[in-house]
Structure 1
Amino acid sequence: MPKIKAFAGYLVNAARAKQVVSPAYDSVSPQQRRQFAEANPQNFLNTMRLLEDFPADARPTQSQLLSSNKANLDKLLDDGSYEKLKTPCLFVYQLGSGAHVQTGVVCEIGIEEYEKGLVRKHENTRSDKEDLLTRYQKVVGVSSSPICLAYSQSDAIDDYVARLIEKPDDLEFISEDGAEQVVKQRVWRIENSVEQQKLIALFSKIEVTYLTDGHHRAASGYRYAEMMREQHNNRGGNHGDEPYNQLLVALFPDNQLNLLPFHRCVKDLNGLDETQIVAALRACFAVKKLRGQTAFDASQHGEFGMYINQNWYRLNVLPQCIEQTDPVNSLDVTLLQNLILEPIFGIKDMRGDARLDYIAGVSGDAGIKQKCSEGWKVVFACYATSIEQLMKVADADLLMPPKSTYFDPKPRSGIFVRLK
């Protein structure tokens, strides 16, 4: 497994791709999404609006917003922005950012892969967000953001995909949508049945896949399938091949993925001063002040940067303070939480404490300086979680702390549209 499948639906019109394809939704703030959507009325983002995108005094009801999303989708499908696929297709999808290139396969997989644990996860999901996405599928009735899955790299798959992309692509465009990086995207349509069957056979030899981006989309897809199955069973029919029984996914080999860290920032010093904080850190870290240094990149597992009062410190965790055999407790983000944020700064709730916030590594040093200019008193720069660490956690059926991984570049929404 996985048993990949071609799917019917729509592909964005090449001439309109740059205008229509949406930024990666979770890489921009609600305010940025609102500004972008209003400035780009023909962008697919207008089919995915959330209440938080609107000012509190000008918010529509949830029903009104979903109806608006559906109307915007229908307009895009009718105005020539999309080409309806004549036959079910697989796609090769390539993302390039700077020197980094990753090439995957966009397809369907059966929801039973998720049910049986063959799609392994590493994050918790929030029920309120699942509720919203499930309702979105019911009202708007579309999948447009492939759930990203990693698989253990296969030479056979790599070689065959390389052959498939020797032919001219069907779509090539540059995303310049206000995201932190410019992303070149290319798509090859695989509609030949012989080529499809070859890819299907190659992927059937992969034992499991790993969720890298889209935990809530996968969970809500499962909930939507359960809801639709109940309705269809009551009418005497549910065969397993219905669109609601499938997930739209993008499969990437693990060795091509680029993981960046999520840095942590703290609003106040918990009643301490810089000297007291440094003294407390020495219980578990080798601490060095980096005089005159204006930026910091952690270079290895167990290394952190601390930016406080316009000074950088390098923190290297002492070996005896790492639980080397525990796949979760040995993560850098867990070490930071257990050895610094909770005992020194009094932050126990990584998800809900208003004194803690996160900075995606893609924003770089500028993102850190921006947070400090907003009044955040200390920033901890982290080393990126590896794909191997992610897989170990998922294989052990464990969960990572919030904001443990940031994959970049992210697939965009609105390239592929599949009706539910």
Structure 2
Amino acid sequence: MAVIRPFFSIRPSEEKADKIAALPYDVYNREEAKAAVANHPLSFLNIDRAETQFDDTVDTYDERVYQKAHDLLWDMVEKGDFIREKKRCYYIYELTMNGRTQTGITACASIDDYANGVIKKHENTRAEKEADRIHHVDTCNAQTGPIFLAYRSNKRINEVVDRVKSSDTPVYDFVADDGIRHCVWVIDKDADIAVIEQAFSSIGEIYIADGHHRAASAVKVGFMRREANPDYTGEEEFNYFLSVLFPDDRLMIMDYNRAVKDLNGMSKEDFLAKVCEIFDVSEIEHASDQSEEQLRPKQKGEYSMFLGEKWYLCRLKEADKNPDPVKGLDVSLLQDLLLDPVLGIKDPKTDDRIDFIGGIRGLKELERRVHTDCAVAFAMYPTSIGELFAVADAGLLMPPKSTWFEPKLRSGLFIHEI
């Protein structure tokens, strides 16, 4: 059973939420972060990337950076930019992009569920990437970026969510600079809280959809606090980590596309001949007159390839389909059938001849890359949430760059003090 509990949130005052909410810290490099916070003193990115408050002679991981993040956060709380919830609540967090809405529950998940495998993972994490967020969470004494979790849809939770949305006024309702609409409702009625908590306790598995490193960092801080407090009871806030949980039927994964910088010594004609040996290939006629949606692959086992100013539809041959939850993924099949044996991409995690392009950037970005620094690009059919669940249930790992989640959860809308 999963322990998903309400919490005492620290959250923006209603009139400042749109100014505080910021994209996650890891979508920016240092230069981009500095540009993003310029003239935006309330942006939570000032806290998430506090090196922006120093000149470039101060290292990103300098102790002063973490202390600055702490001081900025708690100064804003003291000034009233944030408010403290008076009781433990759940929150409905709804994001709308291009007319499509996904709605989740903001809550706290158990570090023990993470450690014991009730919360399932599909990626490995690297200690060097965790170290920064461990230091940030520990110094700030707060979790500031929610982990993106998923679960199999539950009727009782859906009923509460739909009723609260229809009857209550959201505490936040704003459209961010990137056009994403963010709405938040507070679930504060005891009966509703009890229904949600009990419903989650009956759900067998919770899955990390996005944010593996943030999750691992928050959990490790929790276990550090346990070591420092050997008389802990398990009820302390450090035993839980901030999350937004989405039901699988209200969640969308976007494509994560590939572009390769050369054809491994082949001409375009020779490479196309190799592709035709592996896939059933047809040129997409009048591609320049078609929309991106028309050019995209329509089902699992299909790939759209841009080569030599032309789009091709490549269909996997029946004999090459694989029931294995990892080897049967479209990203795995492309790697194993074409990228490795034909283009020589042995390890896509380390080979600098391949780039990965999130679906949010569109197919025009694939064309642009082929026109500039790449030789061929592949548009993928998105990995499904069911495939993600199957990989995690089998205790396996996804290949690199298998899923692209959009829209991104904003940091700063919910803070969990530990």
**TM class by smaller structure:** over 0.9
- Alignment match, 1:103: 103
- Alignment match, 2:320: 321
- Alignment match, 1:251: 245
The correspondence of residues 72-151 of structure 1 with structure 2, limited to 5 A, is: 72-151=72-151
Deviation at 1:334, TM superposition (A): 0.5
Deviation at 1:27, TM superposition (A): 4.5
**What is the SS of the residue equivalent to 2:11?**
strand
Alpha-carbon distance in structure 2 between the residues aligned to 1:209 and 1:142: 23
1:132-173 CA-to-partner distances (Å, cap 9, x unmatched) read 211111112221222121111122221122122233334233
1:170-223 CA-to-partner distances (Å, cap 9, x unmatched) read 42333433x4xx221111112232321122122222111111111111111221
- Alignment match, 1:267: 261
Alpha-carbon distance in structure 2 between the residues aligned to 1:52 and 1:6: 33
**What is the SS of the residue equivalent to 1:416?**
coil
Deviation at 1:303, TM superposition (A): 0.8
Say yes or no: does 1:305 pair with 2:299: no
Deviation at 1:29, TM superposition (A): 5.4
**What is the SS of the residue equivalent to 1:340?**
helix
- Alignment match, 1:46: 46
- Alignment match, 1:223: 220
- Alignment match, 2:354: 356
Alpha-carbon distance in structure 2 between the residues aligned to 1:193 and 1:138: 31
1:109-138 CA-to-partner distances (Å, cap 9, x unmatched) read 221111111111111212211122111111
- Alignment match, 1:189: 186
Identity across the alignment (%) = 32
Deviates more, 1:195-204 or 1:31-40: 31-40
Change (3 A) 1:192 1:291: closer
**What is the SS of the residue equivalent to 1:166?**
helix
Q: Give, as a single letter, the amino acid of the residue that structure 1 aligns with 2:319.
A: Q
Give me the CA root mean square deviation. 2.2
The number of residues matched between the two structures is: 413
Change (3 A) 1:277 1:52: farther
Deviation at 1:376, TM superposition (A): 2.2
Alpha-carbon distance in structure 1 between the residues aligned to 2:208 and 2:222: 19
Deviation at 1:373, TM superposition (A): 4.9
Q: Mind listing any 5+ residue stretches in structure 1 that lack a counterpart?
A: none
Deviates more, 1:24-33 or 1:78-87: 24-33
**What is the SS of the residue equivalent to 2:306?**
strand
Change (3 A) 1:39 1:310: farther
- Alignment match, 2:380: 382
Change (3 A) 1:277 1:417: same
Q: Mind listing any 5+ residue stretches in structure 2 that lack a counterpart?
A: none
TM-score using structure 2 length:
0.93
Alpha-carbon distance in structure 2 between the residues aligned to 1:105 and 1:57: 41
- Alignment match, 2:406: 408
**What is the SS of the residue equivalent to 1:282?**
helix
Q: Is the 8 A contact 2:241 2:416 kept in 1?
A: no
Q: Is the 8 A contact 1:258 1:409 kept in 2?
A: no
Query: Residue 199 of structure 2: which of 198, 202, 205 is its match?
Result: 202
Deviation at 1:369, TM superposition (A): 3.6
Deviation at 1:51, TM superposition (A): 6.6
Change (3 A) 1:138 1:309: same
Deviation at 1:282, TM superposition (A): 2.1
**What is the SS of the residue equivalent to 1:162?**
helix
